[in-house]
Each structure stands twice: as structure tokens, then as C-alpha cells.
Structure 1
Amino acid sequence: MLVGLSPARRRFLLGVAALVVVALTALAVVLVSRGSAPAAEPVSQERPGPVLLVPGYGGSTSSLQPLADLLTAQGRDATVVRLPGTGTGDLAESAAALGAAADAALDRSGADSVDVVGYSAGGVVARLWVADGGAAVVRRVITLGAPHHGTTLADLAGEVAPDQCPLGCVQLGTGSAVLARLNAGDETPAGPTWVSIWTTQDRTVTPPDSARLDGALNLPVQEVCPQAQLGHGELPRDAVVQAIVLAQLAAGDPVPLDAGDCARLGG
């Protein structure tokens, strides 16, 4: 193909071809290095740090304060995170508030990591924070009645009274783009260990097993204490649930529990 070309033209085309080869080689090196990059390192499970408790939809801190007080009495550094605005806006903004609270807790305590307890929508907020960069500094995420796969109650609100279903409500629907992104692929990314606790009698997160999280230790309360009678709003205040949370926040890996543990947990 190059025979009929002048020497200068031939040299030019050969030079361009060489540059293309170099560029393609460099691209291949980049792609291989990306594909072989190590996964995120797991956070040490042996050194529990401060505990951040994330409220549910609406942002009220009162439901989580008794659990925070119990943790404080047990010697843990526990803070209920205040969400921006009314706690019904963009869940990403709430995740940013959790990130700021984590930075403050780490600076204050000198710890390497934090533990997070997310109640209801607060569990989704915790997952957003982990997915968007928090994985390296959180040891354990515990969610209480979290609508990880949406709740049909939010769907109904969006259909019947859309003006009463702000962005945070929409993002908790079963067809939410936010939840679709979180649940695509690995629902429990590396870094922390994960525990999901819920009640089978939930009438707010519907269906209740929307709280089930692939890769987590899943603990329906009724599998631990079969006679337990509690709804969504009682989860953070229930003595058995609080005992389960304390057990799961201890040093070491999450602890599987069953009906044989009910009496020990106060059920």
C-alpha cells in the first residue's frame, strides 16, 4: 500500500501508525490494571468506634434517643444524626449529613471507624453514604425496618396524594431510581459488615421483607422471639430489638441469633 507513496509521505504514515500502536498499548495497560485492582479492604471488626444513629423519614430524633442513651450507658460514643430540613427531602442530602457527622465523630474520638444504625429510611441513607465513599470508615451498618427495596405505602402516596409525597417519599417507592441503583449488583459492598433487623408485622414498610438485604445478616425479630408483637414505629424502642442491636454492635463479626436466644435477650 505504501509502495507508490513518496518517501516523505511514507515516513509520515508510518509515524502515525506507530503513535496509534503506542496509544492502544497504553489503553490496554490501563484497562488491565483497572480490572485487576484490589477490592476495598474490609474494615477491622475488632475495634468498635462511635455509633451514629440515623432517623427515618421526617428526621425526628426522638425515636432513636432512647437507644442512643442506652448505648451511652454501655460506654459507647453515640450520636443521633440531625437530617437537613424536615428529613423528607433528597436522601442524598441526608447521606451527606451522615458523612459530616462521621467525620466529626472520627475527629473527636480518634477512632478508625464508626458504626451506623439506620432506622427506616435512615437505613437507606446509610447505604447511600457507604456507596458514595463511606465504606472505608464504617465498621458495621445495622438497619431497622429499612425499605431497602421500597415500600408500597410510598407508591400509594405518590398516586393518591402526590403533593403530599415530596422527593424523599418518591425515592422510597418500589420503582425508585435511587433504590434501583443501590440494589444493582452487590447490595452490601465491601468495607463494613451488614445486619438488617425488621418486624414481620410492619405496616409502614410493605411488604415487610423489603428490609431483607442480600449479603447481610438478616434478622426478622419474630425469628428470634416468635411471640414478639411490634410494628414499625416500635422497632427502635423495643427492649428485645435494643438488645439485638447491642449484641450486633459488639466487637467481632455479626452474631447469628435464633429462638434459643430470646430469653437471654429479654423476650
Structure 2
Amino acid sequence: MRLPKPIFNNPDFTPEHPTPVLFVHGFQGRTSAFKRQARYLAAHGYWVWGFDYGRMRVPGLYGTGDLDELVTELAGNVEKVLAATGAKKVDIVAHSQGGTVTKLYIAAGGHEKVRRVVTMGSPFHGTDLDGRAKLISPVMNKQQAVVNRLLGESATQHLVGSEWLLARVVPDTHPDVVYTSLYSRRDHIVTPNSTSMLESVDGADVVNMEIPGAPLHPLMPRDLEIARLTRWGLERKPGETTPPF
């Protein structure tokens, strides 16, 4: 019996697009959450890649740890894709924390190796957890060692007002990269929606777009409408702000 070909990291895939796509999952996530989107993009000629990054706190789920360390891990994963494909740059498709890690990576020099970025529900400026952060933060700070052991450092680093977040003032975007940031009004984890909006720096091509179907935060990597919007983000013409569907 012939085994099915892998969706991600398939060395035998013949792409129609020169730039490979690297999927970056979120906090306590994994690359397999993007299977539906990956199949969709592969069917349209994109060479899709993905690696589970960060430590695993919950069985089968990754993406935990200090955000600065996760940025270094993303840099290593980008190099893996470039080495395997011979490409000069990658496109990054990221969910939630994955978008924050991508933003930090680009600000640290990764712009030289990234062509386009499409994110969904990413807390670029932290999250107030639908107003609950003010109640949660003091408790988590008092039990920081326990939180780090059970959830990982990024669980508190993302919170609005955290010391880590206040110390990481970096540009939202870079003019060499084209950005499409998708967000949902039904997202009650990454809030307010404005935290997912990127500022154009030095003329960077940026589109911040509310997802018409407004999926819940955990369902975004599996959403077919977002898959279509992701493809649009990877292909849209300079200055184009509305998809043709």
C-alpha cells in the first residue's frame, strides 16, 4: 500500500509559486491545526512547510516558552525551509502568538528573508483577555514560577502591561515585507481587535481586515474562509485592500 504524501515539508512537491510558505502556530498549538489551509494552498501550487516550535506543556501541544527564545527558534525554522527549497525568502502564515513571534523576528533582521506575512488573531500589542487581564495579572505575577512551569513564560508576556511587553518596543512592520493581518470580532482571547492591527512603518504595504465570517479564535487555523483570505494576502497586488470575492 502506498503511503499518502505529507502535506507539510514534502520534498517531492513541485511548486507553482517560487516562495515557500511557512506556517507558524500559536500558544499551546501545533502545525497540524493548519492542515485544511495547507491543503488549500498546496492545491493552488504553494509549497507548504511547518514545524512545531516551543516547549510542550500540555500533551501534544507546543508553542510555550520565553518569546525571545521562540523568535530564535523561528529563525532556525526559516533557515531549514530556505536550505530545503533553495529559495531566498519565505512567506509566513501565522496564528495568534505566531504573529507576534514573526513580528519580533522581522524586527531583529528577519525582513531580509521574508517576502509576505499573513496573520490571524495575533496580539501584536498584547491582549487584555476581554478585560480579564487586570484581574489575572496580579495573581499570575505572584505565582510566576508556577505559571512558567505549567504554562510557560509567554502566557504572561502577552498580557497588556506586562514588563516584558513594555520593554519590547519594536516597529510593527518593515517596508520590505507585505502584510495582511486578519482579525475577528468574535475573538475573546486576543482583545481588543485593535491589538491585531499593524501600523505601516516607512510605507510598508499593510492591510488590517476583519474576517467577514468572524470565527472564534481557536478555530482560525481550520477556517476555509481564512484560507481563501490567506491566499489573497499572498497574491494581492500592491495597495490592494479588498479581496475580489
The TM tier, using the shorter chain, reads 0.7 to 0.9
Given candidates 141, 147, 152, the residue that maps to 1:166 is 152
Q: Which residue of 1 aligns with 2:10?
A: none
Q: Which residue of 2 aligns with 1:240?
A: 225
SS of structure 2 residue aligned to 1:246: helix
- Superposition TM-score, scaled by structure 2 size: 0.77
Q: Does 1:57 align with 2:36?
A: no
Q: Which residue of 2 aligns with 1:209?
A: 194
1:20-45 deviations in Å (ceiling 9; x for gaps): xxxxxxxxxxxxxxxxxxxxxxxxxx
Question: How far 1:84 sits from its partner (Å)?
Answer: 2.4
User: Is the 1:82–1:97 contact (alpha carbons within 8 Å) kept by the matching residues of 2?
Assistant: no
Identity across aligned pairs (percent)?
31
Which structure shows the higher helix fraction? Answer: 1
How many aligned residue pairs are there? 208
Equivalents in 1 of 2:220, 2:226: separation in Å? 6
1:202–1:49 CA distance, 2 compared to 1 (3 A): same
Question: How far 1:145 sits from its partner (Å)?
Answer: 0.2
Given candidates 198, 210, 222, the residue that maps to 1:220 is 210
1:217–1:74 CA distance, 2 compared to 1 (3 A): same
Return the index of the structure with the highest Cα Rg. Answer: 1
Equivalents in 2 of 1:128, 1:190: separation in Å? 15
Letter in 2 for 1:105: V
1:237–1:125 CA distance, 2 compared to 1 (3 A): same
- Superposition TM-score, scaled by structure 1 size: 0.71
Q: Which residue of 1 aligns with 2:7?
A: none
In the TM superposition, what are the counterparts of 1:67-106 in structure 2 within 5 Å? 67-86=37-56, 87-106=63-82
Question: How far 1:138 sits from its partner (Å)?
Answer: 0.3
User: Is the 2:37–2:224 contact (alpha carbons within 8 Å) kept by the matching residues of 1?
Assistant: no
Q: Which residue of 1 aligns with 2:5?
A: none
Question: How far 1:204 sits from its partner (Å)?
Answer: 0.8
Q: Which residue of 1 aligns with 2:94?
A: 118
User: Is the 1:127–1:182 contact (alpha carbons within 8 Å) kept by the matching residues of 2?
Assistant: no
Equivalents in 2 of 1:76, 1:84: separation in Å? 25
Equivalents in 1 of 2:164, 2:39: separation in Å? 32
Q: Which residue of 2 aligns with 1:137?
A: 113
Q: What stretches of structure 2 of length at least 5 have no aligned partner?
A: 1-16, 57-62, 201-205
Equivalents in 1 of 2:96, 2:21: separation in Å? 17
User: Is the 1:48–1:114 contact (alpha carbons within 8 Å) kept by the matching residues of 2?
Assistant: no
Q: What stretches of structure 1 of length at least 5 have no aligned partner?
A: 1-46
Question: How far 1:116 sits from its partner (Å)?
Answer: 0.5
1:144-163 deviations in Å (ceiling 9; x for gaps): 10011111138354334543
User: Is the 2:185–2:214 contact (alpha carbons within 8 Å) kept by the matching residues of 1?
Assistant: no
1:35-93 deviations in Å (ceiling 9; x for gaps): xxxxxxxxxxxx75111111100132232222122222222111122112122111122
User: Is the 2:92–2:118 contact (alpha carbons within 8 Å) kept by the matching residues of 1?
Assistant: yes
